[in-house]
Amino acid sequence: MKKLYFIANLQAGKAELGMHLAEILNRITRAGYEVTVHPTQAPLDATYMAAKAVESGEYDAIWCSGGDGTLSEVITGMMRSEHSVPLGYIPSGSVCDFAKSMGIPRDMLRATEMILDGVPRRIDSGTVNDRVFNYIAAFGAFTDVTYETPQDAKNVFGPLAYIVNAAIKLPDLRTFRMRVNCDGQEFEDDYIYGMITNSASVGGVLDISDFEFDDGMFEITLIKRPENPIDLHRTLLFLRDIHEVGAKEDLVCLRASDIKIQLREKAVVPWTVDGEYMPNAAHVHIVNHKQALTMIVPKSTDLSCFSIR
């Protein structure tokens, strides 16, 4: 019998995982797995337990359930090990961007069946100053929205909660003078926002239509200081569907595997990594680790997002 280690964040989202956990375990067991369950106990507990489970060599797969933060913690733990096992993910958080990109449904029982019937795919992972991240590292305006938006509001309104909280902060919009090096291409300007992503969805709001999970490249979007509210509005509309690569008057869209960002002034820059707060850093080095992780994805997932067949 195959062995599976299941890390469960019972507090994620609306804390609905507990209502479905017994049936999820029943279906996994019926599929031929001996399951060990670990409910997370504290921040970073998922990282520690994932690393321990992989290092033990006892398990044929690691599964987790929670939001994007839980998934990021588990991937961090798995990336710390020299061993490799496939990762299955059942989304149970408020937004779950990465699950949306992977074609994993929000319905937990459907997700369970689709992962049990899924296929392993190698995907890229990243580090930002040696901190592992899964799908986004971002700085500047609106990045604090992901961790300052009240959990109750996210539970009730979902992605809309982020939009409302961002709108409240518009009067306090500020810029940061930064030098950005993307695989040797260098830019220096005043930016209000920047994001480095490997996902089709950000915050359940922004859509990136042309990317691949396993090509060794991140998508980089830098928004320059707008000259007027009309410029800002046009830029935000573009962000609803990012599909062009190149430099424009008000923003830069690139692909790169090695990104260095240097703050050119004394300031505190809000950063988030997979939706979680990261302490201010004047120098940031982001590296794509090509196909470093094996993820179990549904057979129905859009394979155009994978360069390797």
Within this chain, do residues 159 and 227 fall inside the same structural domain, yes or no?
A: yes
Which CATH number belongs to the domain containing residue 186 in this structure? 2.60.200.40
Spatial separation of the C-alpha atoms in residues 181 and 261, rounded to whole Å: 6
Residue that finishes a domain, picked among 117, 151, 185: 117
Within this chain, do residues 191 and 239 fall inside the same structural domain, yes or no?
A: yes
Spatial separation of the C-alpha atoms in residues 248 and 15, rounded to whole Å: 43
Measured in degrees and rounded to the nearest 5, phi and psi for residue 86 equal -70, 150
Within this chain, do residues 98 and 247 fall inside the same structural domain, yes or no?
A: no
Please give the helix or strand (H or E) that residue 240 lies within, else none: none
CB atoms closer than 10 angstroms to residue 221: 21
Q: What is the pLDDT of residue 58?
A: 96
Within this chain, do residues 9 and 105 fall inside the same structural domain, yes or no?
A: yes
Within this chain, do residues 180 and 204 fall inside the same structural domain, yes or no?
A: yes
Spatial separation of the C-alpha atoms in residues 141 and 172, rounded to whole Å: 9
List pLDDT tens digits, range 291-303: 999 999 999 887 6
Within this chain, do residues 32 and 67 fall inside the same structural domain, yes or no?
A: yes
On whether residue 112 sits in a domain, the answer given is yes
Within this chain, do residues 185 and 101 fall inside the same structural domain, yes or no?
A: no
Within this chain, do residues 173 and 277 fall inside the same structural domain, yes or no?
A: yes
Within this chain, do residues 27 and 113 fall inside the same structural domain, yes or no?
A: yes
Spatial separation of the C-alpha atoms in residues 180 and 192, rounded to whole Å: 13
Flag residues of the chain having pLDDT under 70. Answer: 141-173, 201-210, 226-249, 303-304, 308-309
Domain containing 91 equals: 2-117
On whether residue 177 sits in a domain, the answer given is yes
Burial 1-24 (b: 16+ CB within 10 A, else e): eeebbbbbbebbbeeebeebbeeb
The single-letter code of the amino acid at 100 is K
On whether residue 113 sits in a domain, the answer given is yes
Q: What's the gap between Cα 164 and its chain centre?
A: 21
Reading the block at residue 214, the tokens are 């396993």
Q: What is the pLDDT of residue 203?
A: 57
List pLDDT tens digits, range 210-256: 678 999 999 998 888 766 666 666 666 555 555 455 555 677 888 99
Within this chain, do residues 91 and 140 fall inside the same structural domain, yes or no?
A: no
Q: What's the gap between Cα 128 and its chain centre?
A: 13
On whether residue 299 sits in a domain, the answer given is no
How many domains does the structure of the chain reveal?
2
Which CATH number belongs to the domain containing residue 27 in this structure? 3.40.50.10330
Q: What is the pLDDT of residue 127?
A: 95
CB atoms closer than 10 angstroms to residue 231: 15
Residue 205 neighbours by CB under 8 Å, 6+ apart: 159, 162, 163, 240
Q: What is the pLDDT of residue 193?
A: 82
Residue that finishes a domain, picked among 117, 144, 175: 117
Within this chain, do residues 111 and 187 fall inside the same structural domain, yes or no?
A: no
> Burial, 262: exposed, middle or buried (Cβ in 10 Å; 0-12, 13-18, 19+)?
middle
Q: What is the pLDDT of residue 300?
A: 85
Within this chain, do residues 195 and 275 fall inside the same structural domain, yes or no?
A: yes
On whether residue 25 sits in a domain, the answer given is yes
